[in-house]
Structure 1
Amino acid sequence: MASANSPLRIDIISDVMCPWCIIGYSQLSRALENTGTAHEIHWHPFELNPNMPAEGQDGFEHIEEKYGSTRAESEESRKRMTALGADLGFEFNWADDFRMHNTFNTHQLLHWAGEQGRKDDLKQAFFTAHFTHRRDLSDINVLADVAGEIGLDRDEALAVLNDQRFANIVREAESFWQRQGIQGVPAVVFNQKHLVTGAQGIENYTNILHHLAKEDS
């Protein structure tokens, strides 16, 4: 599974609006570190809310409409995610005015960053921008700012979003994963054949990695 010549391939289908995506990724990262697993991660686009309007939507309102959760239930869920994030070194900074945003542009910029070997860096920066700093990821200027802050060319990032040059590529990638049956995220595919959905926890991810190591030994 994880020899120097054959790192474990991990495909992660996710959206930066998904709190469980950063939690699950952080748990997986801990498991990979704890097991010393050589790996390569490939991020893929998924839009939780492809019909989200440009102005976004209030977070509580969105969760109630989509899942039927009451405000009290949402607040309890936020507390749980905050605690999980803190244990993993990630800060959730919820607020009453926390908003959800359309992420089609974020996925286009992630594709662009991937061409420079910086997709993972930008992905993490977007998670932090959204959940920790509550920045408006529906604003292309904010997206370009975030790219610039991690050392990418801000002007080029803005040009990518203005001309939508990667729109078709992102749509095709989203359609591919939908055809594979992916309906929710996080979805993690190990070695292009083992699908694991949801944030599994460090222990479960560790067990999965050990199982894969035995399978390939």
Structure 2
Amino acid sequence: MTTPPQALRIDIVSDVVCPWCIIGYRQLAKALQATGTPHEIHWHPFELNPDMPPEGQNLRDHVAEKYGTTREQSEDNRVRLTAIGAELGFAFRFADDMRMHNTFNVHQLLHWANQHGHMNALEQALFTAHFTHRRNLSDNSVLADVAAEVGLDRAEALAILHDQRFAAEVRTAEESWLNQGIRGVPAVIFNRRHLVSGAQGEENYRRILEQLAAGND
């Protein structure tokens, strides 16, 4: 009897307000499908802007302040991201009033969703909520709505955000990845050993998967 191949463990350190995180995930997902690789994905928290105030900040102002990006550069980046997203079946709908958010509460909800087997669904829904529908991820009622849309209990989501019961666990997880040298996302770790940083493209992910399957690691 042939032993079925062991599922490839894939850890993804990510933030739902990072456009390259959803791009990288979509590229990886296509490579996984193309190669037929058995896998299990585990999402982990990273805050791009841990010092962001609760009300958030205008996105264009934020990237100008943080990266020195000009308005023209910002527009070019948005056009590029929108085109890449469209190729991957993801809709980026940027607008002048789009905001960057503090995502600590988001990661607490994701931690809770993981306990109920809904983490990947909630992760995808939050990417869409932010980048496609421009929903306010700084608003706990919006976060609870998104949680309910993937089958989680809305009242429980609100209670979690109110009492911050998973704050310590999320902080510990974030600090653990920082202590391992993760300073940017997406960071993808295969089989707990091989770190790949940034959105690498479907072809590069496919080559990585093929090398891992062949044991060339």
Structures share a fold, TM > 0.5?
yes
- Paired position in structure 2 for 1:68: 68
Aligned partner of 2:128 in structure 1 is: 128
The corresponding residue for 2:202 is 202
Indicate the residue corresponding to 2:118 in structure 1. Answer: 118
Q: 2:6 aligned with 1:6, yes or no?
A: yes
Higher mean alpha-carbon deviation, 51-60 vs 40-49, is at: 51-60
Q: Secondary structure at the match of 2:215?
A: helix
CA distance in 1, matches of 2:149, 2:186: 26
Looking at structure 2, the residues matched to 51 and 86 of structure 1 have their Cα atoms a distance apart, in angstroms, of: 31
Cα separation, 2, equivalents of 1:154 and 1:80: 36
* C-alpha distance in 1 between matches for 2:117 and 2:216: 28
Moved runs in structure 1, 4+ residues, more than 3 A?
Answer: none
In 2, the alpha carbon distance for the partners of 1:174 and 1:188 equals: 15
| Maintained 8 Å contact 1:4/1:38 | no
Tell me, yes or no, if the aligned pair for 1:10 and 1:40 is still in contact at 8 Å. Answer: yes
5+ residue gaps in structure 2? none
Aligned residues: 215
Q: Structure 1: give runs of 5+ residues left out of the alignment.
A: none
TM-score normalised by structure 2 residue count: 0.97
Kindly report which structure 2 residues correspond to 1:33-44, keeping only aligned pairs within 5 A, or say none: 33-44=33-44
Per the TM alignment, residue 192 of structure 1 is displaced from its structure 2 partner at its CA by 0.2
- Letter of the structure 2 residue corresponding to residue 107 of structure 1: H
Percent of residue pairs bearing the same amino acid type = 66
Aligned equivalents of 1:111, 1:96: Cα separation in 2: 31
The alpha-carbon deviation at position 148 of structure 1 amounts to: 0.7
The TM-score, its normalising length taken from structure 1, stands at: 0.97
SS in 2 for 1:181: coil
CA RMSD of aligned residues (A): 1.1
Measured after TM superposition, the shift of residue 4 of structure 1 is: 3.4
